[in-house]
Each structure stands twice: as C-alpha cells, then as structure tokens.
Amino acid sequence: LATSLSLPIDTPLPLASIELPPDEKRQQTKELVELAKKQRADLMAKRATLSAAYFIEDKIQASYQPKLTFSAIGKRERSLQHHSRHGHNEVVLTLDVPLFEGFISIYENRMAFADTKITIEELAQLELDIALEVLTYDRSLEAAQEKLSYSITNLKSTQAAFDGVLEKYKAGKETIFDVSRAQEQLAIARLRHSDVYMEWLVSVAKLAYATGTLTGIL
C-alpha cells in the first residue's frame, strides 16, 4: 500500500477500524412477520379496501330492509280574533316496508358479498406472500451476517500477518518480496470483505422492505 502511494515501505499508515454489525439479538422470524403485518403499506391498504367492502355490503343490505322513521313538528299560531296564542305539535311515525323491487336488490347483495369475499381471499394471500418474503430475506440476512463475520476474522488475520512481515522486514529478517506478497494478500482480503459487506447491506435492505421498517431487523 505504501509503495502504491510512492511512500517509503516503512511509512506508518493508519487504517480504519474493522467493526462487526450490531451484536444485539435479532428478532425471530415469527416476530418479523408480525412486524411486517403492522408496517407494510400494501397490507394496510388491502385492509382498508376490505373495510370499505364490508361497509358497502352493510349499506346495500340496510337499504332493502324495513325502515322506521320518527319526526316531530312544533308550531306556534296566533289568533287575531281572540288575541291569543296557542301551540300545535305534530308527531309522525313512519314505517317503510319494501314489498318487491325487482331482482336488483338480490343482484346488488350478491355482488357486494362476492366483492367482500374476494377481498378477504386477496388479503389472506397477501399475508402469506409477505410471510414468505420475510422468511426468505431473514434467512438470507442470517447467512450474509455469518459470512461477514468470517470475512472480518479473515481480514484481521491477514492484517496481522502483513504487520508481522513488515516488522520482520524492518528487522532485516524478510525481503521486500515477502512484504509485497503479504500486501497483495491483504488487498485481496479487503476486496473480498467489501463484496461480503455489500452483500450484507443488500440483505438488510431486502428484509427492511419485506417488513416495512428497519427497526428490529438487526
């Protein structure tokens, strides 16, 4: 690395520390599925659609049922002849019983029931699809995190080996070719670690999408 920067081979170069992902215990898959059911926008939208379907179904059924209405009217009249005032109240109770309005009521009821049933099935299928997504991406993140742990261990080991070769070179016990070879191994380890770390970040992003949030997935 020092050679590539046109610096003396024994120039000290500070390197960024290598840190593992958070060690906090990750939630179980079942908990992540429950989290997704609360956070996924598409699932909340489908639930809203189902609520609307229930409302329409109830409204249609109620429109063809008997209706009882109550009304009250209060009036105050004045008699010019006797110069007096008196009140007049009227109470009206109306019962509306539909007899037969053709088959449109049957058709509308059946259509509303069918729409509700279809929405229920779509909601159940969406929940299954989301659970499968969460399971798949959770397993992918678990594998990526384990792979990342091995990568960090390998990188630390390669870094230690390079430091050891460099110290021996300074003491005259190793050649410049040994240092160059150790440096090459360190560069390869860093490149591999970058790839593995990127894979881990992608796995995190996918699980975050599946659950609808970053909270609790790590």
Distance CA 166, CA 172 (A): 10
How high is the pLDDT of residue 7? Answer: 60
CB atoms within 10 A of CB 149: 14
CA 18 to CA 152: how far, in whole Å?
A: 7
Which residue in the block uniquely carries the two structure tokens 């009249």? 77
Q: Which residues pair with 69 in a beta bridge?
A: 94
> Which residues partner with 101 through β-bridges?
103
Rounded Cα distance, 86 and 81, in Å: 13
pLDDT score, position 135: 94
pLDDT tier for residue 96 given thresholds of 50, 70 and 90: low
- Looking at the DSSP bridge assignments, the partners of residue 85 are 78
pTM greater than 0.75: no
Query: How many CA atoms lie less than 13 Å away from 11 in the CB half-sphere?
Result: 11
Mean pLDDT over 8-27 rounds to 58
**Sequence-separated (6 or more) residues with CB below 8 Å from residue 43:** 36, 37, 123, 126, 127, 130
Query: At CA 162, angle to CA 160 and CA 167, rounded to 5?
Result: 95
Q: 153 pLDDT band (50/70/90 cuts)?
A: very high
Mean pLDDT of the chain: 81
CATH fold of the domain at 29-73+103-211:
Outer membrane efflux proteins (OEP) (1.20.1600)
What pLDDT is stored for residue 26 in this prediction? 60
- Which pLDDT score is estimated for 106? 73
Q: Single out the residue of 92, 94, 205 nearest to residue 144, CA to CA.
A: 205
Does 79 have pLDDT greater than 70?
no
Other CB atoms within 10 Å distance of the CB of residue 166: 19
Mean local confidence (pLDDT), 136-153: 94
Which pLDDT does position 137 carry in this prediction?
94
Q: Which helix (H) or strand (E) holds 209?
A: helix 176-211
Across the range 104-128, mean pLDDT stands at 89
Closest among 3, 39, 59 to 207, alpha carbons compared: 39
* pLDDT over threshold 70, residue 23: no
* pLDDT the model gives residue 213: 81
Determine what percent of the chain is predicted with pLDDT higher than 70. 67
d(CA 138, CA 36): 12
What's the CA gap between 137 and 202, in Å, rounded? 10
Label residue 15 exposed, middle or buried (CB < 10 Å: 0-12, 13-18, 19+): exposed
pLDDT tier, 60 (very low <50, low <70, confident <90, very high otherwise)? confident
Q: How confident is the model at residue 18 (pLDDT cuts 50, 70, 90)?
A: very low
What pLDDT was estimated at residue 93?
Answer: 65
| Cβ-contact 218, 21 below 8 angstroms | yes
What whole-number distance in Å separates Cα of residue 113 and Cα of residue 159?
A: 68
